[in-house]
Chains A and B, each alone.
Chain A
Amino acid sequence: MTIAAEPAAPIVALTGAAKHFGPVRALDGVSLSISPGDCLGLVGHNGAGKSTLVNVVNGGLSPSAGSVDFPASGATTALAAGVRSVFQELSLCPNLTVAENLRISHSALRGMNWRAPARAEIRAALDEVFPGHGIDADATVDALSIAERQMVEIAIGFAPRGTEARLVILDEPTSSLDAGIAEQLLSHIKRFCAQGGAVIFISHMLGEIFEVATRILVMKDGKVVAERAAGGFTRQGLVDAMGHVATEAAAAQAARVHGEEVLHTPEGLRARKGEIVGLSGLAGHGQAEALARLYLGATSSWRSPREAGMVFVAGDRGRDGLLPLWSILRNTSISILPQIAKRGLVDRDREAAVAAEWKKRIGIRTDDVTNPILSLSGGNQQKVLFARALASSAPVVVMDDPMRGVDVGTKQDVYAMIRAEAAKGRTFLWYSTETEEVCQCDRVFVFRNSEISAELTGEAITEERILEASFEMEGA
């Protein structure tokens, strides 16, 4: 490690780096240098070029123009320079254990008994980042909750793996973590940077950015539009720099009158017509499972009625939402096919009209809806899943943490859309890991250990009450 007194050579230096995908300028001439001790907060809208920048830095993509150098280590590849990435799309192998997943990116582990050092290393890394994590190094990844998987992935990113991590890139690391775990991560990032490491931290949660970042970089349309020390921004200034007129959460909602009860599950979930019902609690306490059970129970694997009674918005896009081979158009229309079909054949004009309408309404960033779904950035893919659900006429919409990886501006648009749809009489069930979102609901069920531990309505929905209900037993 470089001695702190000297002006340290940057770990990574980009000069005029650009990346084009056909006509799309995903990255349009970015110059940037990251020195030891830096914690760079990277913000911007969906499709602003954040993920492309990350991939250029970590060597996943080679720039179309400009250069990427690693002066501190003199290495030629990102891997040798100690650049690590933790992605928002989880990239563990679900059929392997936690320790075996470490081995995939740790080629120095060899010999007959490589599992033992692998176990020790991943355990040490987990203990360091997330003290008291409770994850077994021998558990297979598919037995872990999504939050635990994210924790493992982060721990692998920080693990020494034969060399040492100099620059760790975290892409939306906290979007599936609950507040307590996220706090552990943030304090680890601070420790790591203080010891001379560097971090690129991408998040849509501005509070976290302000908490850890020493420098903030704002991207828009593939360019860096602002770069300042963290103190140089205010929250409002940051949102303005991203190019969205901030509409902070409309706090006071008029108390609305709701219709009759449309839903009542044996577990105690209840919802009335036109109501927005939130599911909260710590991540992985059975909320997602409860929603999936509810949805699978209410719909059939054998029949698809013309007017669906319930639709589902997936949060785990890769597993539950996307149909990866298809275009945006077909991904949008899949749930409404029976509605727009004539004698079993799809009415393609109506399908195109529906897709065009939703592209406009929800702002899917694409030139043409017949482009493949995977050409979109993560947040825009999520918008497609919203469009899929909202385009149907189903009276009940089930949402399983749907805002993962969606930027602030879009979130506000979607909140407004949800409220408007609820006012028209639709019922929403909304699981979210972000307390701020849950506080916008009319009624909140807090989950603990797969059971409902509290039901809050109206004025009683506050962050304190929700936290209280999520932790109660664990504190005792």
Chain B
Amino acid sequence: MLVITLGPGNVDLSIPATMTLSGTLALKAMGSDPGTAWMGLGVAVLVGLGTGLANFALIYLLRLPPIIATLAASLIYQSLAIWSNRGLRIKPPAGLAEFATGRTMGIPNVALVGLGLSILIWLLLERSVWGRWLLASGQNLRAARLAGVPVEAVRAATYLAVTVFAAIAGYLLASFSGGAALNMGAEYLLMSIAVVVIGGTSIAGGSSNVPGVWGASLFMFLVVSMLNSYGAGAGVRMVLTGLIIIGIVIAASTRRVQR
């Protein structure tokens, strides 16, 4: 969402690969030993920072379009994950696995973490100087620059923030599913963009909607679960998911034009 808010052309396609890489490396570093959960989180965050820096370096120094830079970089991250993983499936430490799969007051812990991060992002966007700068840059990069906004710093921070969040998600997902898998991020490539757009964040940039992302995620989850429970095959499920996303994006954009 944050990167898309930066305006047209800004997108991070390295999210799935970053998730895979951080999950893989974090679990490898922890090696199923108890008491290493925080260290693993640290590794994941470092991976996120690293991939974010690499993405932005490609975009800024080589002036590559973000869509190409992040997609190409994601191949590298994925290869790194394959190379370090070598087919091993390391289990997460017991305490961490328990946390990731457990519930507090009936709500999954992972959802609580997501909620906490969402509130943080929402606060940043609505109240902080950085959030204002981000929204301004997304509306009109040149005008923002001429108004004194440090636009490159804002872009860099945004690309970093996105990969750090992806890395944390990969870490939690790997802990949740009992080990990192090489394809674990794959489903999030389209999904991460779809929920942002369905949630009401403008593709044209400059406006974002944090509660909308939650609504859209729950909706997409509902759709996928329903199709699963009706016994639809994987192919049908994906076709329908794709159609739903297209339909909603069209509905959302025509509504905006009419207004």
Q: Among B64-72, B140-148, B161-169, B237-245, which stretch is in contact with chain A?
A: B140-148
Whether the pair A345, B127 counts as a contact (CB closer than 8 A) is yes
Tell me, yes or no, whether A338 is within 8 Å of chain B by CB: yes
Whose C-beta in chain A lies nearest to the C-beta of B131?
A346
Q: Which residues 126-167 of B sit at the A interface, judged by CB distance below 8 A?
A: 127-130, 132-133, 135-136, 139-140, 142-153
Provide a sorted-by-A list of 8 A–B residue pairs whose CB atoms are within 8 angstroms. Answer: A295-B146, A301-B150, A312-B147, A334-B148, A335-B147, A338-B129, A346-B127, A388-B147
Tell me, yes or no, whether A293 is within 8 Å of chain B by CB: no
Whose C-beta in chain B lies nearest to the C-beta of A345?
B127
Whether the pair B129, A314 counts as a contact (CB closer than 8 A) is no
Whether the pair A302, B153 counts as a contact (CB closer than 8 A) is yes
Tell me, yes or no, whether B20 is within 8 Å of chain A by CB: no
A302 CB contacts on chain B under 8 angstroms: 150, 152-153
Chain B residues bordering chain A, tally (CB within 8 A): 25
Residue of A322, A330, A348 near B140 (CB, 8 A) is A322
Residue of A304, A322, A344 near B150 (CB, 8 A) is A304
Whether the pair A330, B151 counts as a contact (CB closer than 8 A) is no
Contact with A along B181-216 (1 / 0, CB 8 A): 000000000000000000000100011000000000
Whose C-beta in chain B lies nearest to the C-beta of A398?
B146
Count A/B pairs, Cβ under 8 Å: 86
How many angstroms from the CA of A334 to the CA of B138 in the assembled complex? 13
Whether the pair A334, B149 counts as a contact (CB closer than 8 A) is yes
Whose C-beta in chain B lies nearest to the C-beta of A338?
B129
Whether the pair B130, A344 counts as a contact (CB closer than 8 A) is yes
Whether the pair A346, B143 counts as a contact (CB closer than 8 A) is no
Whose C-beta in chain A lies nearest to the C-beta of B205?
A325
Tell me, yes or no, whether A256 is within 8 Å of chain B by CB: no
Additional 12 contacts, C-beta under 8 A, given A311-B147, A325-B202, A326-B136 = A299-B148, A319-B142, A322-B140, A322-B143, A323-B143, A325-B207, A334-B144, A334-B147, A334-B149, A345-B128, A345-B129, A346-B128
Residue of A300, A311, A323, A392 near B136 (CB, 8 A) is A323
Contact status of A314 and B149, CB under 8 A, knowing A323-B136, A323-B206: no
A344 CB contacts on chain B under 8 angstroms: 128-130
A308 CB contacts on chain B under 8 angstroms: 148
* B interface residues, Cβ below 8 angstroms from A: 127-130, 132-133, 135-136, 139-140, 142-153, 202, 206-207
Contact status of A311 and B129, CB under 8 A, knowing A303-B153, A323-B140: no
| Secondary structure type dominating chain B contacts | helix
Residue of A303, A320, A348 near B143 (CB, 8 A) is A320
Whether the pair B207, A312 counts as a contact (CB closer than 8 A) is no
Chain A residues bordering chain B, tally (CB within 8 A): 33
How many angstroms from the CA of A401 to the CA of B145 in the assembled complex? 18
How many angstroms from the CA of A80 to the CA of B51 in the assembled complex? 59
Contact status of A335 and B148, CB under 8 A, knowing A345-B127, A345-B128: yes
Whose C-beta in chain A lies nearest to the C-beta of B140?
A323
Query: How far is the CB of A315 from the nearest CB of chain B, in Å?
Result: 11
B139 CB contacts on chain A under 8 angstroms: 323-326
Whether the pair B144, A323 counts as a contact (CB closer than 8 A) is yes
B144 CB contacts on chain A under 8 angstroms: 323, 334
How many angstroms from the CA of A304 to the CA of B128 in the assembled complex? 14
Whose C-beta in chain B lies nearest to the C-beta of A400?
B146
Whether the pair B145, A301 counts as a contact (CB closer than 8 A) is yes
Whose C-beta in chain A lies nearest to the C-beta of B138?
A325
Whose C-beta in chain B lies nearest to the C-beta of A295?
B146
Tell me, yes or no, whether A296 is within 8 Å of chain B by CB: yes
Contact status of A334 and B132, CB under 8 A, knowing A308-B148, A311-B148, A321-B143: yes
Tell me, yes or no, whether A456 is within 8 Å of chain B by CB: no
Query: How far is the CB of B136 from the nearest CB of chain A, in Å?
Result: 5
Tell me, yes or no, whether A144 is within 8 Å of chain B by CB: no
Tell me, yes or no, whether A269 is within 8 Å of chain B by CB: no
How many angstroms from the CA of A406 to the CA of B244 in the assembled complex? 48
Contact with B along A329-345 (1 / 0, CB 8 A): 01000110110010011
A299 CB contacts on chain B under 8 angstroms: 148
Query: How far is the CB of A344 from the nearest CB of chain B, in Å?
Result: 5
Query: How far is the CB of B148 from the nearest CB of chain A, in Å?
Result: 5
Query: How far is the CB of B197 from the nearest CB of chain A, in Å?
Result: 17
Q: Which of A296, A321, A334, A346 has the most CB of B within 10 A?
A: A334
How many angstroms from the CA of A83 to the CA of B151 in the assembled complex? 43
B153 CB contacts on chain A under 8 angstroms: 301-304
Contact status of A301 and B133, CB under 8 A, knowing A323-B139, A323-B140: no
